[in-house]
Chains A and B, each alone.
Chain A
């Protein structure tokens, strides 16, 4: 209440005071002019003939002073606004820098964690291969010593089958941890996606529909086609699994300009041309905790025995090898979207116009 009164008072002195002062002056002048006997004025002008001159000069100087005051006030107002604007801009920049820093730190931490797990997985794979080799060898030796039609022979066969599965798992772990040096060649991204879809369709339930939207032009990137296949297959399998057999997987391939807003979400991306691949599903989505861990190897939300927890980890590793980026957005109950940035390869020498040599 008191504060309101104070504001009202300020408002009055700021807006109305000059008018009140001018009005008071005018009223006084009228009063003097009306009531003052003309004789006095005549006497005054007679004894001081320069009084009108002084009065004129005073009025002129006062007018000049008033104008200067108004100008000064305006200028000050402008400079205040400018300072204010700069201040706001600076705060914005700082907030942005802070956010970028946080994102970078998070990405770095995630990268280090994945690398560490990769090294660990590699070490485990080495020891595990030794163990598997011993089991396989002994089982084979034992099988040689017993009659072929006996139950023991059959059961040892099962042991060998189990070992085979173990062997496949280790091969997958090694693929995740191993830094292979692939021969990167120009790959048509859209054709690769279509190829992967062709492979996948027979394995996907009919109640799941897959839509592919793509820009008309050919998008080419430097990469290993088999690995890119694997990225797409893993992402789609993941999407299909998230939908419990019913829903739609949308795949969108588009061009990204270098000034696109999307780069603010990828602070690590190196400057250059990229294409964007989005894979979204209408599945059950994920919570924040799950989202933070999905690229970790051996992390799975699927039932025991159904997922190896290596699918998305492999996607992450392959993408990093291709200088790509990945981001996931998800909401519980309404599905997830994986956004991938793939560095585009510009076919400069397409028509034999080699400018560098």
Chain B
């Protein structure tokens, strides 16, 4: 079980992912954009942050570089829907900024859960 911060602007995806993570017996906190996530991070310290890349107010890219500075031990998983200018480029960028793993939407949820488990387990041991 891990404490997870979920940052996603799409209501449907956020709600669905929250359910998936909760069912896998993780503790989930949700934020709709980068700014909200920063607010939450002031009071709580999750093990993993799962974040979208293209979001209003504060994008996933900015959020990742900020979080990596303030919470260097936090694991970050980036997910992106592709499109706009160069989506895979964003995922590459998110990884070079500090995201441990990145996925392209639609993500295979089983793989996502496995990645979370591996990251949390790896950290604890």
Contacts and interface: CB of A to CB of B under 8 A. Distances in A.
Contacts of B104: 129
A144 B23 contact: yes
A141 B16 contact: yes
A134 B79 CA distance: 13
Contacts of B17: 137
Interface in A6-50: none
What is the interface residue range for chain B against chain A?
20 to 34
B106 A132 contact: yes
B120 to A, nearest CB: 21
Interface string B90-120: 0000000000000011110100000000000
B83 A137 contact: no
Contacts of A163: 106
Contacts of A122: 82-85
A138 to B, nearest CB: 5
A126 B13 CA distance: 13
Nearest to A131: B12
Interface string B62-101: 0000000000000000000111111110000000000000
A127 interface: yes
Nearest to A166: B106
Contacts of A178: 86-88
B40 interface: no
A177 interface: yes
A80 interface: no
A126 to B, nearest CB: 3
B2 interface: no
B23 A141 contact: yes
B25 interface: no
A140 B16 CA distance: 10
B99 to A, nearest CB: 18
Contacts of A140: 20, 109
Given A126-B54, A141-B23, A167-B106, A134 B16 contact: yes
Given A123-B84, A129-B83, A137-B20, 14 more contacts: A125-B81, A126-B54, A126-B81, A127-B81, A129-B81, A129-B82, A129-B104, A129-B106, A130-B81, A132-B105, A133-B107, A137-B106, A163-B106, A167-B106
16 contacts: A125-B82, A126-B81, A126-B82, A127-B81, A128-B81, A129-B83, A130-B105, A133-B13, A133-B16, A133-B105, A137-B106, A140-B20, A141-B20, A141-B23, A174-B87, A179-B86
